[in-house]
Amino acid sequence: MPSFLEQKFGLRGKVALVTGSSQGLGKAMARALAQAGADVIVNGRDPAKLAPVVAELSALGVKATAIAADLGQRADVQRLIDQAIAWQGHLDILVNNAGIIRRTPAADHTDADWDAVIDVNLNGVFTACRAAGQHMIARGSGKIINIASLLTFFGGITVPGYAASKGAVGQLTKALSNEWASKGINVNAIAPGYMRTDNTAALQADAVRSKEILSRIPAARWGEPADLEGAIVFLASAASDYLSGHVMAVDGGWCGR
């Protein structure tokens, strides 16, 4: 008989798709889901970067595959979800992690930068949720985890498109929960704090801004991709079956400061 932890947190037999998982937060979350027993589909725009991740996950004793797609193109997003479902005939877990950022003062923020960010961070997320949601509604179960941000709650500096997109992801998470929770689908989000990733490289390199950020984090350190492992497994597993429409901050205490 499976142990309590296996019953509540185990993901054996589940199929998960993690977008933007060739590196950073996405790769860490994909690895955590695989360690919990899920078969995992990784995604990115460059197939060459996905191959090593597939090999790493396969070595954990689960099935893994890669589907390259550009999350800024609606047709590509739809194809990604269709192929993810076709891989083993079902999709149980969708993690909408792929995202981009453009750092420019609002007065100089171009239409091209705004559109690029909104297309990936919001339109891509909604398109993926809609396509996966249709499949999950028909099956009567599913877990959707959107990756929000601290800027879901705050405005940020020189990233108006990113802040707008992540604020919208938080509201989208709640809107989908309102419609789908009764259908057996849990829609939640994780709002990572300041993490050591490529997206925050400019902040880490800015001595003044980096010091300001670090001084406000009660944990007194930047987050690492591995800090999301527990949260993602919890939200993807039966342990969170009565949690829906929640945006979980994994931020070292930033929001409580």
Q: Which residues are catalytic?
A: 162
Residue 117: closest CA among 104, 107, 130:
104
Burial 178-189 (b: 16+ CB within 10 A, else e): eebeeeebbbbb
| Cα angle for residues 129, 135, 141 (degrees, 5° grid) | 90
Residue 249, CA distances (Å) to 106, 107, 202, 209 in order? 26, 30, 22, 21
Distance CA 180, CA 197 (A): 32
Asked if residue 90 lies in contact with residue 41, where contact means CB atoms within 8 angstroms, the answer is: no
Strand partners, 56: none
Distance CA 39, CA 17 (A): 9
DSSP symbol at 223: B
